[in-house]
């Protein structure tokens, strides 16, 4: 199977012919230097297909699908609710969380949230490229930015894993019947009032991720690694 993979949101099938956009065409022909007749893969949530380059023009590329390599996969939902952080660390966090299987990102505004606006276009690009590179079929969803109270109001029945420095708990029980969501706080942590709200939410399990105070992006990677270990 070709290790050059591109996300293609439209329907794919054997013998389908179509065009790629200018950016994808440039990547295949100028960066990866795939010649006419060369293979690459197109994928979306319904599977992955081997594809050949049929024709290259100045602004686009014509392709033809030759065979299906992978079929649609059953994916376990894994959400990440978090407070946005500064750009470089934020981009790194989103990329690594995508690689670790997050299916939905939920940015939250809390009392101590520093960054209160996010660049959705940039985030979509990051999760798409991370999905292409890590061999997954789906592209994570990015929810609208919302307040903590709004998050609880809109989500009544979650298996909520709360990364909590003040917790003494170091063990988790995963309820496979409930949707799993990891909740990570802002750089200055949650206020005591917010922490009480979180702990009162039905389905919350608080867990201490270590004795040290972790940066937000480190806490996200740590929590996701624990969850992936317990799920497998």
Question: Structural domain boundaries of the chain?
Answer: 5-71, 78-231
pLDDT for 209:
87
Q: Say if CB 20 and CB 61 are below 8 A apart.
A: yes
Summarize the confidence of residues 41-51 as an average pLDDT.
Answer: 97
Look at residue 113 in the predicted model and tell me its pLDDT. Answer: 93
- The Cα 92–Cα 70 span in angstroms is 28
pLDDT band at 141 (very low <50, low <70, confident <90, very high): very high
Residues 78-111 pLDDT 10s: 999 999 998 889 999 999 999 999 999 999 999 9
- Topology of domain 5-71, CATH: Ribosomal Protein L25; Chain P (2.40.240)
Assign 1 a pLDDT band (cuts: 50, 70, 90): very low
Full-model pTM = 0.92
Top-confidence residue, 7 or 188: 7
Give 161-193 pLDDT, tens digit per residue: 999 888 887 778 777 778 999 999 998 889 999
- Per-residue pLDDT, 188: 86
Average pLDDT score over residue span 60-66 = 95
- 200 burial type by CB count under 10 A (0-12 exposed, 13-18 middle, 19+ buried): exposed
In the three-class reduction of DSSP (H, G, I as helix; E, B as strand; rest coil), residue 116 is classed as: coil
Cβ atoms of 93 and 216 within 8 Å: the answer is yes
Beta strands in 16-139 (DSSP E): 17-20, 39-44, 47-56, 61-71, 78-82, 104-109
Residue range 78-231 in CATH 3.40.1280.10: yes
């Amino acid at each position: 199977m070709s290790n050059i993979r591109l996300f293609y949101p439209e329907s794919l099938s054997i013998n389908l012919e179509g065009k790629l956009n200018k950016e994808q065409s440039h990547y295949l022909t100028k960066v990866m230097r795939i010649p006419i007749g060369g293979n690459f893969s197109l994928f979306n949530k319904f599977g992955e297909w081997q594809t050949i380059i049929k024709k290259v023009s100045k602004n686009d590329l014509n392709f033809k699908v030759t065979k299906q390599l992978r079929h649609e996969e059953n994916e376990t939902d894994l959400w990440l609710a978090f407070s946005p952080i500064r750009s470089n660390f934020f981009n790194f966090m989103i990329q690594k969380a995508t690689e670790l299987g997050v299916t939905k990102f939920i940015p939250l505004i809390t009392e101590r949230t520093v960054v209160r606006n996010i660049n959705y276009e940039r985030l979509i690009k990051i999760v798409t490229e991370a999905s292409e590179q890590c061999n997954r079929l789906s592209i994570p969803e990015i929810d609208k930015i919302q307040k903590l109270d709004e998050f609880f109001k809109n989500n009544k029945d979650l298996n909520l894993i709360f990364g909590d420095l003040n917790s003494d708990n170091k063990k988790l029980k995963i309820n496979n019947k409930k949707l799993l969501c990891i909740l990570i706080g802002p750089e200055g942590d949650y206020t005591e009032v917010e922490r009480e709200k979180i702990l009162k939410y039905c389905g919350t399990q608080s867990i201490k991720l270590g004795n040290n105070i972790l940066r937000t992006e480190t806490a996200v990677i740590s929590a996701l690694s624990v969850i992936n270990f317990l799920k497998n």
